[in-house]
Protein backbone atom coordinates (compact mmCIF):
# COMPACT_ATOMS: atom_id res chain seq x y z
CA UNK A 1 0.00 0.00 0.00
CA UNK A 2 1.13 3.56 -0.65
CA UNK A 3 1.44 6.02 2.23
CA UNK A 4 -1.61 7.82 0.87
CA UNK A 5 -3.65 4.60 0.92
CA UNK A 6 -2.53 3.85 4.46
CA UNK A 7 -3.59 7.30 5.65
CA UNK A 8 -6.96 6.86 3.94
CA UNK A 9 -7.53 3.64 5.88
CA UNK A 10 -7.44 5.59 9.15
CA UNK A 11 -10.49 7.69 8.24
CA UNK A 12 -14.24 7.14 8.42
CA UNK A 13 -16.43 9.88 7.00
CA UNK A 14 -20.07 10.62 6.28
CA UNK A 15 -22.08 11.93 3.35
CA UNK A 16 -24.99 14.31 3.10
CA UNK A 17 -27.59 12.69 0.88
CA UNK A 18 -29.45 9.44 0.33
CA UNK A 19 -27.14 8.53 -2.56
CA UNK A 20 -23.37 8.45 -2.62
CA UNK A 21 -23.22 11.83 -4.36
CA UNK A 22 -20.06 13.79 -5.02
CA UNK A 23 -18.96 13.73 -1.38
CA UNK A 24 -19.34 9.97 -0.97
CA UNK A 25 -17.76 9.23 -4.33
CA UNK A 26 -14.78 11.46 -3.55
CA UNK A 27 -14.32 9.96 -0.09
CA UNK A 28 -14.24 6.41 -1.46
CA UNK A 29 -12.36 6.96 -4.70
CA UNK A 30 -10.14 10.01 -4.11
CA UNK A 31 -9.27 9.58 -0.45
CA UNK A 32 -9.74 5.78 -0.36
CA UNK A 33 -11.14 6.06 3.16
CA UNK A 34 -11.23 3.08 5.46
CA UNK A 35 -14.96 3.42 5.98
CA UNK A 36 -18.20 5.36 5.71
CA UNK A 37 -20.76 6.12 8.40
CA UNK A 38 -24.45 6.69 7.67
CA UNK A 39 -26.97 8.66 9.73
CA UNK A 40 -30.72 9.23 9.72
CA UNK A 41 -30.22 11.92 7.07
CA UNK A 42 -29.03 9.19 4.70
CA UNK A 43 -32.03 6.89 5.15
CA UNK A 44 -35.32 7.06 3.23
CA UNK A 45 -36.47 3.45 3.04
CA UNK A 46 -35.32 -0.14 3.39
CA UNK A 47 -34.81 -0.51 -0.36
CA UNK A 48 -32.92 2.79 -0.62
CA UNK A 49 -30.62 1.99 2.31
CA UNK A 50 -29.48 -1.34 0.88
CA UNK A 51 -29.02 0.42 -2.45
CA UNK A 52 -26.82 3.07 -0.82
CA UNK A 53 -24.50 0.65 0.98
CA UNK A 54 -24.26 -1.40 -2.22
CA UNK A 55 -23.48 1.75 -4.19
CA UNK A 56 -20.60 2.54 -1.83
CA UNK A 57 -19.26 -1.00 -2.23
CA UNK A 58 -19.45 -0.68 -6.02
CA UNK A 59 -17.61 2.64 -5.94
CA UNK A 60 -14.92 0.95 -3.84
CA UNK A 61 -14.34 -1.59 -6.63
CA UNK A 62 -11.64 -4.10 -5.76
CA UNK A 63 -10.00 -1.91 -3.09
CA UNK A 64 -9.76 -2.91 0.58
CA UNK A 65 -13.38 -3.41 1.74
CA UNK A 66 -14.97 -0.51 3.58
CA UNK A 67 -16.09 -0.37 7.15
CA UNK A 68 -19.77 0.52 6.66
CA UNK A 69 -20.75 1.90 10.03
CA UNK A 70 -23.85 3.07 11.85
CA UNK A 71 -24.92 4.15 15.34
CA UNK A 72 -27.60 1.52 15.91
CA UNK A 73 -28.02 1.29 19.68
CA UNK A 74 -31.78 0.83 19.90
CA UNK A 75 -34.10 3.19 21.74
CA UNK A 76 -33.61 6.83 20.79
CA UNK A 77 -30.43 6.14 18.82
CA UNK A 78 -31.73 4.29 15.78
CA UNK A 79 -30.85 4.75 12.11
CA UNK A 80 -33.13 2.07 10.69
CA UNK A 81 -35.75 2.76 8.00
CA UNK A 82 -39.30 3.55 9.11
CA UNK A 83 -40.47 0.10 7.97
CA UNK A 84 -38.51 -1.52 10.80
CA UNK A 85 -40.06 -2.08 14.23
CA UNK A 86 -38.28 -0.05 16.89
CA UNK A 87 -36.18 -1.70 19.57
CA UNK A 88 -36.56 -0.52 23.18
CA UNK A 89 -33.85 1.48 24.92
CA UNK A 90 -30.85 -0.44 26.28
CA UNK A 91 -31.83 0.51 29.84
CA UNK A 92 -35.13 -1.34 29.40
CA UNK A 93 -33.15 -4.47 28.57
CA UNK A 94 -30.74 -3.80 31.41
CA UNK A 95 -33.55 -3.55 33.93
CA UNK A 96 -34.52 -7.14 33.13
CA UNK A 97 -31.23 -8.26 34.66
CA UNK A 98 -31.18 -11.05 32.10
CA UNK A 99 -27.91 -11.46 30.17
CA UNK A 100 -29.63 -13.88 27.79
CA UNK A 101 -32.13 -11.19 26.79
CA UNK A 102 -29.30 -8.70 26.42
CA UNK A 103 -27.56 -11.07 24.04
CA UNK A 104 -30.83 -11.52 22.12
CA UNK A 105 -31.05 -7.72 21.96
CA UNK A 106 -27.54 -7.60 20.51
CA UNK A 107 -28.48 -10.32 18.04
CA UNK A 108 -31.37 -8.14 16.82
CA UNK A 109 -29.03 -5.16 16.48
CA UNK A 110 -26.56 -7.25 14.49
CA UNK A 111 -29.28 -8.69 12.25
CA UNK A 112 -30.64 -5.22 11.50
CA UNK A 113 -27.22 -3.82 10.68
CA UNK A 114 -26.19 -6.77 8.55
CA UNK A 115 -29.45 -6.79 6.59
CA UNK A 116 -28.74 -3.27 5.31
CA UNK A 117 -25.09 -3.83 4.48
CA UNK A 118 -23.51 -2.46 7.64
CA UNK A 119 -20.55 -4.32 9.10
CA UNK A 120 -19.76 -1.99 12.03
CA UNK A 121 -22.14 -0.94 14.79
CA UNK A 122 -21.05 1.82 17.16
CA UNK A 123 -22.76 0.04 20.04
CA UNK A 124 -23.29 -0.87 22.78
CA UNK A 125 -22.69 1.88 25.31
CA UNK A 126 -20.78 0.50 28.28
CA UNK A 127 -21.27 3.76 30.14
CA UNK A 128 -22.79 3.60 33.62
CA UNK A 129 -25.71 5.99 34.06
CA UNK A 130 -24.51 7.12 37.46
CA UNK A 131 -25.39 10.81 37.09
CA UNK A 132 -29.16 11.42 36.82
CA UNK A 133 -28.45 14.83 35.22
CA UNK A 134 -26.66 13.11 32.34
CA UNK A 135 -29.26 13.19 29.59
CA UNK A 136 -26.82 12.52 26.72
CA UNK A 137 -26.36 8.96 28.03
CA UNK A 138 -29.41 8.25 30.18
CA UNK A 139 -31.33 5.24 28.87
CA UNK A 140 -28.61 4.51 26.30
CA UNK A 141 -26.79 2.75 29.17
CA UNK A 142 -27.63 -0.80 30.24
CA UNK A 143 -27.51 0.08 33.92
CA UNK A 144 -26.83 2.50 36.73
CA UNK A 145 -24.11 0.36 38.29
CA UNK A 146 -20.94 -1.25 37.01
CA UNK A 147 -22.07 -4.86 37.27
CA UNK A 148 -25.21 -4.36 35.15
CA UNK A 149 -23.39 -2.31 32.52
CA UNK A 150 -20.60 -4.88 32.34
CA UNK A 151 -22.67 -8.05 32.23
CA UNK A 152 -25.56 -6.93 30.04
CA UNK A 153 -23.68 -4.49 27.83
CA UNK A 154 -21.05 -7.06 26.95
CA UNK A 155 -23.68 -9.73 26.36
CA UNK A 156 -25.26 -7.37 23.83
CA UNK A 157 -21.87 -6.80 22.19
CA UNK A 158 -21.41 -10.54 21.78
CA UNK A 159 -24.87 -10.82 20.22
CA UNK A 160 -23.90 -8.19 17.64
CA UNK A 161 -20.60 -9.94 16.89
CA UNK A 162 -22.32 -13.30 16.45
CA UNK A 163 -24.12 -11.82 13.43
CA UNK A 164 -20.83 -10.94 11.75
CA UNK A 165 -21.07 -7.26 12.63
CA UNK A 166 -18.23 -5.55 14.51
CA UNK A 167 -19.41 -4.08 17.83
CA UNK A 168 -17.57 -0.94 18.92
CA UNK A 169 -18.13 -0.53 22.65
CA UNK A 170 -18.21 3.05 23.90
CA UNK A 171 -17.55 5.71 25.30
CA UNK A 172 -14.15 4.98 26.90
CA UNK A 173 -13.25 5.76 29.69
CA UNK A 174 -16.92 6.31 30.59
CA UNK A 175 -19.42 9.06 29.72
CA UNK A 176 -22.00 8.20 32.38
CA UNK A 177 -20.97 10.64 35.11
CA UNK A 178 -21.02 13.82 33.03
CA UNK A 179 -23.53 16.62 32.64
CA UNK A 180 -22.19 18.20 29.43
CA UNK A 181 -23.08 16.86 25.98
CA UNK A 182 -19.80 16.30 24.10
CA UNK A 183 -21.59 17.16 20.84
CA UNK A 184 -21.54 20.81 21.96
CA UNK A 185 -18.87 21.09 24.68
CA UNK A 186 -16.13 19.23 26.51
CA UNK A 187 -17.35 17.22 29.51
CA UNK A 188 -14.95 17.21 32.46
CA UNK A 189 -14.61 14.31 34.90
CA UNK A 190 -12.51 14.75 38.02
CA UNK A 191 -11.86 11.20 39.20
CA UNK A 192 -8.66 9.46 40.14
CA UNK A 193 -7.51 6.31 38.41
CA UNK A 194 -8.52 4.35 41.51
CA UNK A 195 -12.04 5.78 41.35
CA UNK A 196 -12.32 4.97 37.65
CA UNK A 197 -11.11 1.41 38.23
CA UNK A 198 -13.73 0.98 40.93
CA UNK A 199 -16.56 1.92 38.58
CA UNK A 200 -16.31 3.36 35.04
CA UNK A 201 -13.56 1.06 33.79
CA UNK A 202 -15.13 -2.19 34.99
CA UNK A 203 -17.39 -2.73 31.93
CA UNK A 204 -14.51 -1.90 29.56
CA UNK A 205 -12.08 -4.21 31.32
CA UNK A 206 -14.65 -7.00 31.03
CA UNK A 207 -15.05 -6.20 27.33
CA UNK A 208 -11.30 -6.49 26.85
CA UNK A 209 -11.18 -9.73 28.82
CA UNK A 210 -13.97 -11.12 26.60
CA UNK A 211 -12.06 -10.22 23.44
CA UNK A 212 -13.84 -7.05 22.30
CA UNK A 213 -12.59 -6.17 18.80
CA UNK A 214 -13.01 -2.40 19.01
CA UNK A 215 -13.47 0.43 21.50
CA UNK A 216 -14.47 4.06 20.95
CA UNK A 217 -12.58 6.77 22.83
CA UNK A 218 -14.73 9.63 24.09
CA UNK A 219 -14.25 13.38 23.94
CA UNK A 220 -14.08 13.65 27.74
CA UNK A 221 -11.46 15.48 29.77
CA UNK A 222 -10.59 12.95 32.46
CA UNK A 223 -8.53 15.15 34.76
CA UNK A 224 -7.39 12.29 36.96
CA UNK A 225 -5.53 10.77 33.99
CA UNK A 226 -4.76 13.70 31.70
CA UNK A 227 -5.78 17.25 32.69
CA UNK A 228 -4.75 18.69 29.33
CA UNK A 229 -6.32 16.64 26.52
CA UNK A 230 -9.66 14.88 25.95
CA UNK A 231 -9.46 11.08 26.12
CA UNK A 232 -9.69 10.70 22.33
CA UNK A 233 -6.56 12.85 21.86
CA UNK A 234 -4.67 11.71 24.96
CA UNK A 235 -1.64 9.42 24.85
CA UNK A 236 -2.02 8.91 28.60
CA UNK A 237 -5.60 7.64 28.20
CA UNK A 238 -5.43 5.68 24.92
CA UNK A 239 -1.94 4.23 25.09
CA UNK A 240 -1.07 4.49 28.77
CA UNK A 241 -4.40 3.42 30.25
CA UNK A 242 -6.34 1.51 27.60
CA UNK A 243 -3.53 -0.27 25.81
CA UNK A 244 -0.77 -0.67 28.39
CA UNK A 245 -2.59 -0.85 31.72
CA UNK A 246 -5.81 -2.56 30.57
CA UNK A 247 -4.25 -4.71 27.83
CA UNK A 248 -6.34 -3.73 24.80
CA UNK A 249 -4.75 -4.37 21.40
CA UNK A 250 -7.81 -4.07 19.18
CA UNK A 251 -8.93 -1.15 17.04
CA UNK A 252 -9.50 2.16 18.82
CA UNK A 253 -12.00 4.50 17.15
CA UNK A 254 -12.37 8.15 18.07
CA UNK A 255 -15.78 9.66 18.51
CA UNK A 256 -16.64 12.15 15.77
CA UNK A 257 -13.86 14.74 15.59
CA UNK A 258 -16.31 17.34 14.26
CA UNK A 259 -18.15 17.38 17.61
CA UNK A 260 -17.97 20.57 19.65
CA UNK A 261 -15.90 19.00 22.42
CA UNK A 262 -12.97 18.87 19.97
CA UNK A 263 -13.79 21.33 17.18
CA UNK A 264 -14.29 24.25 19.58
CA UNK A 265 -10.67 23.90 20.75
CA UNK A 266 -8.64 22.22 18.01
CA UNK A 267 -8.38 22.59 14.26
CA UNK A 268 -9.43 19.45 12.40
CA UNK A 269 -5.94 18.72 11.09
CA UNK A 270 -4.26 19.04 14.46
CA UNK A 271 -6.99 17.00 16.17
CA UNK A 272 -6.49 14.18 13.66
CA UNK A 273 -2.73 14.12 14.18
CA UNK A 274 -3.10 14.22 17.97
CA UNK A 275 -5.55 11.29 17.83
CA UNK A 276 -3.04 9.16 15.92
CA UNK A 277 -0.25 10.21 18.28
CA UNK A 278 -2.48 9.23 21.20
CA UNK A 279 -2.78 5.69 19.84
CA UNK A 280 -6.14 5.79 18.05
CA UNK A 281 -6.50 3.82 14.82
CA UNK A 282 -9.75 4.95 13.17
CA UNK A 283 -10.71 8.62 13.17
CA UNK A 284 -14.36 9.59 12.67
CA UNK A 285 -14.82 12.73 10.58
CA UNK A 286 -18.56 12.53 10.10
CA UNK A 287 -19.44 15.93 8.66
CA UNK A 288 -17.96 18.13 5.96
CA UNK A 289 -15.78 17.34 2.96
CA UNK A 290 -13.44 20.13 4.06
CA UNK A 291 -12.93 18.34 7.39
CA UNK A 292 -12.06 15.08 5.64
CA UNK A 293 -9.55 16.89 3.45
CA UNK A 294 -8.00 18.66 6.46
CA UNK A 295 -7.64 15.44 8.47
CA UNK A 296 -6.18 13.51 5.54
CA UNK A 297 -3.67 16.19 4.56
CA UNK A 298 -2.57 16.78 8.15
CA UNK A 299 -1.89 13.09 8.84
CA UNK A 300 -0.10 12.67 5.52
CA UNK A 301 2.08 15.71 6.22
CA UNK A 302 2.82 14.46 9.74
CA UNK A 303 3.97 11.12 8.34
CA UNK A 304 6.08 12.72 5.64
CA UNK A 305 7.71 15.08 8.16
CA UNK A 306 8.38 12.30 10.64
CA UNK A 307 6.08 13.66 13.35
CA UNK A 308 4.11 10.41 12.99
CA UNK A 309 6.54 7.58 12.29
CA UNK A 310 5.85 5.17 9.48
CA UNK A 311 5.97 2.37 12.06
CA UNK A 312 3.18 4.10 14.02
CA UNK A 313 1.09 4.44 10.85
CA UNK A 314 1.68 0.79 9.95
CA UNK A 315 0.66 -0.30 13.45
CA UNK A 316 -2.82 1.18 12.99
CA UNK A 317 -3.17 -0.02 9.40
CA UNK A 318 -2.27 -3.54 10.49
CA UNK A 319 -4.94 -3.50 13.21
CA UNK A 320 -7.54 -2.14 10.78
CA UNK A 321 -6.80 -4.64 8.01
CA UNK A 322 -6.65 -7.53 10.49
CA UNK A 323 -10.11 -6.64 11.81
CA UNK A 324 -11.51 -6.43 8.27
CA UNK A 325 -10.09 -9.87 7.50
CA UNK A 326 -11.28 -11.35 10.80
CA UNK A 327 -14.88 -10.31 10.08
CA UNK A 328 -14.71 -11.30 6.42
CA UNK A 329 -15.51 -7.89 4.95
CA UNK A 330 -16.07 -7.90 1.19
CA UNK A 331 -17.27 -5.59 -1.57
CA UNK A 332 -20.01 -8.06 -2.54
CA UNK A 333 -23.49 -6.47 -2.71
CA UNK A 334 -26.09 -7.24 -0.05
CA UNK A 335 -29.44 -8.77 -1.05
CA UNK A 336 -32.74 -7.01 -0.50
CA UNK A 337 -33.56 -6.81 3.21
CA UNK A 338 -36.28 -9.14 4.51
CA UNK A 339 -38.25 -6.56 6.48
CA UNK A 340 -40.87 -9.05 7.66
CA UNK A 341 -38.25 -11.35 9.14
CA UNK A 342 -36.44 -8.46 10.83
CA UNK A 343 -39.67 -7.17 12.36
CA UNK A 344 -40.42 -10.69 13.57
CA UNK A 345 -37.09 -10.83 15.43
CA UNK A 346 -37.77 -7.47 17.09
CA UNK A 347 -41.30 -8.52 18.05
CA UNK A 348 -40.00 -11.74 19.59
CA UNK A 349 -37.60 -9.73 21.73
CA UNK A 350 -40.35 -7.32 22.79
CA UNK A 351 -42.49 -10.26 23.81
CA UNK A 352 -39.64 -11.79 25.79
CA UNK A 353 -39.15 -8.46 27.57
CA UNK A 354 -42.85 -8.18 28.28
CA UNK A 355 -43.07 -4.77 26.60
Kindly provide the residue ranges of all beta strands, DSSP E only, lying in the chain, ordered along the sequence. 11-13, 35-38, 67-70, 120-121, 166-172, 188-189, 214-217, 221-222, 251-256, 282-285
Catalytic residue among 255, 256, 281, 287: 255
Among residues 285, 303, 293, the alpha carbon closest in space to that of 3 is found at 303
Among residues 150, 280, 139, the alpha carbon closest in space to that of 204 is found at 150
- Torsion angle, alpha carbons of 6, 8, 11, 14, to 10: -160
Q: Answer for the pair 15, 36: CB distance below 8 angstroms, yes or no.
A: yes
121: phi then psi, degrees, rounded to nearest 5 = -120, 120
Q: DSSP for 131-184?
A: -TT-TTTGGGSS-SSHHHHHHHHHHHHHHHHHTT-EEEEEEET--TT--S-TTT
Active site residue 287: no
Q: Answer for the pair 31, 8: CB distance below 8 angstroms, yes or no.
A: yes
Among residues 166, 111, 107, 158, the alpha carbon closest in space to that of 323 is found at 166
Active site residue 171: no
Catalytic residue among 30, 145, 183, 338: 183
Residues annotated catalytic, as ranges: 183, 255
Amino acid sequence: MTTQQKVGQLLITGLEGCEAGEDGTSAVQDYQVGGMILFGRNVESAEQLVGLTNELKTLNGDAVPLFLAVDQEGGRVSRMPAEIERLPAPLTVGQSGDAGLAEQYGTCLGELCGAFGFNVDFAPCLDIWSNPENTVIGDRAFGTDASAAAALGNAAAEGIAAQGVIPVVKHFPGHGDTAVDSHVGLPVVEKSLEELEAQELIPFQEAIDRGAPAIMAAHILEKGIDPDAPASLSYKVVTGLLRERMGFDGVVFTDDLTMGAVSETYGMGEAAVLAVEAGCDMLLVCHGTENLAAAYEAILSAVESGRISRARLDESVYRILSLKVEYGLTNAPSPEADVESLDGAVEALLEALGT
